[in-house]
A and B are shown apart, each in its own frame.
Chain A
Amino acid sequence: MSKNKTKLMLGLPYYFWSAAFVILPLFMVVYYGITDKNGALTFNNIASIAKPEHIKSLWLAIELSIVSTVICFLMAYPLAMILVKYGKGRSSVLVMLFILPMWMNFLLRTMAWQTLLENNGVINAILKFLRLPLIHIINTPGAIVFGMVYNFLPFMVLPLYNSLAKIDENVINAARDLGANNVQTFFKITLPLTIPGIMSGITMVFVPALTTFVISNLLGGAKILLIGNVIEQEFSQTNNWHLGSGLSLVLMIFIVISMIISAIFDKDGEGSLL
């Protein structure tokens, strides 16, 4: 028993840290969100989400993050399948694809897309050379979706990869053995077995996409505001922490829902990122 106690004591720094810098700060957001400058209880901060400019930025954020999540899923699933098939025991491919780029600052990488996507940018130059129609997506919601997919694709691929890699090869063989063709095997066996990974991937992409302010700022020009931009401005420009906290609470509803969904589907943490 005492041996166990020593072990539990080892967690003390972590218990303290979590309480002080994870739990308590979240309560601070709640506190600021439901009080005004004088400390009086109010729901105005939260209710202000209904203001036209706020609700518009929230809807736009939801819309763009759903589109990005769907695109990420459609891109990532085949990729994860290929990586599982050929990359067994060769995780270096995964590292090269998704960890290594992180060593180039993410702001710079996103900025670089600006250079590439610009009306006179590199991509249009190539398209022009190939006599294909040019793209005009810089400073549009399309560019923001592009940036979201670029930045969050790894968060979709890794959980999918993990849950695909966990499927016993013989389970797939068994389905084939029992008469299922490739398509039937995919929809009846592979896809259902990877639902934990899919749910985890959706959460991992949807939440950061919904709440970003950097990508919209860098690729959408200054004119397109997502809910993340609104909140960021309340904190770093207007200094209205109460309003910013109130809007954050609205955002947290979505985050909590996502967390619950992924917790339901992913009981053993099998679809997790690491």
Chain B
Amino acid sequence: MSSELIYLKNITKSFDGQTVLDDLTLYIKENEFLTLLGPSGCGKTTTLRIIGGFEEPDKGVVLFDGKDITALPPNKRQLNTVFQKYALFTHMTIAENIAFGLKIKGKTKSYIDDKIKYALKLVNLDGYENRMPSTLSGGQQQRIAIARAIVNEPKVLLLDEPLGALDLKLRQDMQYELIRLKNELGITFVYVTHDQEEALTMSDTIVVMNQGYIQQIGSPEKIYNEPENAFVADFIGDSNIVDGLMIQDELVEIFGTRFACVDKGFGNNKPVDVVIRPEDVELVDPDKGQLTGTVTHLIFKGVHYEMEVTTPNGYEWLVHSTTCFPVGIEVGITVKPFNIQIMNKPASEDEEAVHVEE
């Protein structure tokens, strides 16, 4: 139990009558890299701001190390934030920026100087002490923002889309940098992003959010391979989501054809959503396929070909394969049982949310 550092309990928050978070409950463990992932407006940034102390929830409590910090102002919390677009103090030098928190705490000059050196080294920017923030590139400013936060030795570092303003190459470099920092510092990272690739690369745990609800919590592998609902399946990577009918345990009917699968407990003759990842759709000779269709689209993507196969009922299957099937050719489709992911259809919007109880 002691490994749970932050506990958000039944948090509800609305702005101007619009509910942004609805009865959200979430644990964050010590030393974990936890990512809040979701489209804009899903409530992920609000969740982070509530942890940071910049918003107070309408309902619910925030526990930190077992203590209630719901109403504690940000300057009294043992955590630090790396803001979107860095939020550096433009009227101060890099050294003054990094020293800001330490000076407020009344640390000695030699302690502060040591810390500045250490932090700049950590983010690979030694020698930048006397530069002004405006003379730094976006990536460099981002590192300074991180340095400014970590010199205060927070137990938790909150990161609000910190790489959002950087270009792709820099973003990928910074992802490795962040993982390295996290391992060196041994502290908890709570990371907010809408970029699923970023989340899959860096996280220990991903929290997928939509419309103020948590959709699924799990490791990157689990989220990717076993999405709990159509939203998660659609949001994480490409996927084919088709209507199916659960005939009985381990047998599902898709477009009139019965497929063996490994899921059970859905009941008999029950409509379900079926998720099949594009790389799990196998193309074979037409007479060997469980379904047949025509290749209607072909793009070479480097590591694989991306194809669209249209079945007679008009559905376009997205297929990733290393074998090329030219446009116009008729192909068969097969799917291995363990690659078929069955999900309940959401009965209402409320049920779309997965209430997390432990």
A and B touch in the complex (CB under 8 A): yes
Pair A174/B87 contact, Cβ less than 8 Å:
yes
Number of residues from A at the complex interface, CB < 8 A: 18
When chains A and B are docked, how far (Å) is the Cα of A173 from the Cα of B105? 17
Contact call B89/A168, Cβ cutoff below 8 A: no
Chain A residues in the interface with B (C-beta under 8 A): 168, 170-171, 173-181, 184, 188-189, 192-193, 195
**Are B104 and A180 interface neighbours, CB within 8 A?**
yes
B212 at the interface (CB under 8 A from A): no
Q: Does B90 lie within 8 Å of A179, measured CB to CB?
A: no
Select B81's contact among A177, A180, A188, A193, beta carbons within 8 Å.
A177
Counting chain B residues whose Cβ lies within 8 A of the other chain, the interface size class is 20 to 34
In angstroms, Cα B89 to Cα A176, docked, is: 12
Chain A residues within 8 Å of B91, by CB: 192-193, 195
Stretch from B72-80, B112-120, B170-178, B277-285 contacting the other chain: B72-80
Collect the chain B residues with CB atoms within 8 Å of residue A179's CB.
Answer: 75, 101, 104-105, 152
| Cβ A173 vs Cβ B89 within 8 A | no
A178 and B87: CB pair below 8 A?
no
Contacts of A176 in B (CB 8 A): 53-54, 73-75
Contact B81 A174 (CB under 8 A): yes
By secondary structure, the A interface counts as helix
B83 at the interface (CB under 8 A from A): yes
Nearest residue, chain B, Cβ from A184: B104
Any A CB within 8 A of the CB of B100: yes
Task: Give the Cβ gap from A168 to chain B, nearest Cβ, in Å.
Answer: 6
Q: Are B87 and A168 in contact (CB under 8 A)?
A: yes
A195 — which chain B residues lie within 8 A by C-beta? 91
| B87, A171: Cβ atoms closer than 8 Å | yes
Cα–Cα, bound, A179→B91 (Å)? 18
Q: Which of B73, B87, B88, B148 has the most CB of A within 10 A?
A: B87
> Quick one: CB contact mask for B45-67 with A, threshold 8 Å, 1 for yes?
00000001110000000000000
CB atoms of A168 and B80 under 8 A apart: no
Which residue in chain B gives the minimum CB-CB distance to A180? B104
Q: How far is the CB of A187 from chain B (nearest CB, A)?
A: 12
- Distance to closest chain B CB from A119 (angstroms): 49
Interchain residue pairs with CB less than 8 A apart (16): A168-B87, A170-B85, A170-B87, A171-B87, A173-B74, A174-B89, A174-B148, A175-B100, A177-B74, A177-B80, A178-B80, A178-B100, A178-B104, A178-B149, A192-B91, A193-B89
Contact call A170/B83, Cβ cutoff below 8 A: yes
Tell me whether B52 and A177 are in contact (CB under 8 A): yes
Does B84 sit at the interface, judged by CB under 8 A?
yes
Closest partner residue, chain B, to A189 (CB atom): B89
Quick check: A173 and B104 within 8 Å, CB to CB?
A: no
A193 touches B90 (CB 8 A): yes
For the complex with contacts A168-B87, A170-B83, A179-B105, 19 further pairs of A-B residues with Cβ separation under 8 Å are: A168-B85, A173-B83, A173-B87, A174-B83, A174-B87, A174-B88, A175-B89, A176-B74, A176-B75, A177-B53, A177-B80, A177-B81, A178-B100, A179-B152, A184-B104, A188-B100, A189-B89, A193-B89, A193-B90
Q: Which of A176, A178, A181, A192: most chain B Cβ within 10 A? A: A178
Query: Which residues of A have CB within 8 Å of B53?
Result: 176-177
Please indicate which of the listed interface residues A168, A171, A177 has the most CB atoms of chain B within 10 Å of its own CB: A177
8 pairs of A and B residues whose beta carbons are closest in the complex: A178-B101, A170-B87, A170-B83, A176-B74, A179-B104, A174-B87, A171-B87, A177-B81
Shortest CB–CB separation between residue B230 and chain A, in angstroms? 34
Tell me, in angstroms, the Cα distance from A181 to B104 when the chains sit together.
9
